[in-house]
Amino acid sequence: QVQLVESGGGVVQPGRSLRLSCAATGFSFSNHGMHWVRQAPGKGLEWVAVAWSGINRQDYADSVKGRFTISRDNSKNTVFLEMNSLGADDTAVYYCARDYAFSLDLWGQGTLVTVSS
Amino acid sequence: EIALTQSPATLSLSPGERATLSCRTSQSVGTSLSWYQHKPGQAPRLLIYDASNRATGIPARFSGSGSGTDFTLTISSLEPEDFVVYYCQHRNNWLWTFGQGTKVEIK
């Protein structure tokens, strides 16, 4: 079954860190770029980061650059998002998504991150 | 950075009516624009890529058009499940940007 399943969300205190995972099944993971996109409560979709396949390149939104790190393990078909120095503005549902011609053609169900003391 | 502006913010229509959603970009993007549907509590779904190409499994009532700075998503005859939120998206200089969304609601 072709799918993405996120995990690792939860409640975290401001200033702390959290690591999200996204496991891919049913397709050639190593052939695709992988993204993280988030949606804060009551807000729209916000792109966060992408990890490319085949080249060692990652790109980030300005809002997370220097605090978040995206990585991937092709042997485990998994993409990660390491989030540091979390603030209230990072509270959101985090989705991972597969790249297709610079569109995002497959999405997970999301994992909720709540930053609160 | 290219900005995407969707209009209207909310579109009130009845089932069976035609929906026309607009996305304008602050600079020309050729045909590099995608549309997504997002139902509450579900994963977003790619509808249209490269301005006018329907993604796999997307019903024919969804169509996309436009180039340059003006793009349109058309739903030819609204089904009950279509009353949700739609986003446009563009990639420029390794940054992905979404519009703010259009909510299609039942009139």
Q: What is the pLDDT of residues B33-86, one digit of tens each?
A: 999 999 999 999 999 999 999 999 999 999 999 999 999 999 999 999 999 999
Mind giving me the DSSP string for B57-83?
Answer: T--TTEEEEEETTEEEEEESS--GGG-
Nearest by CB: B55 against A37, A95, A105: A105
Is B36 touching A (CB cutoff 8 A)? yes
Distance, in angstroms, between B32 CA and closest chain A CA?
8
Q: Percent of chain B at pLDDT above 70?
A: 100
| Chain A residue numbers touching B91 (CB-CB < 8 A) | 102
Q: What is the pLDDT of residues A25-72, one digit of tens each?
A: 999 999 999 999 999 999 999 999 999 988 889 999 999 999 999 999
Q: What is the pLDDT of residue A65?
A: 97
Contact A60, A69 (CB under 8 A): no
Judge: A103–B43 Cβ closer than 8 Å, yes or no: no
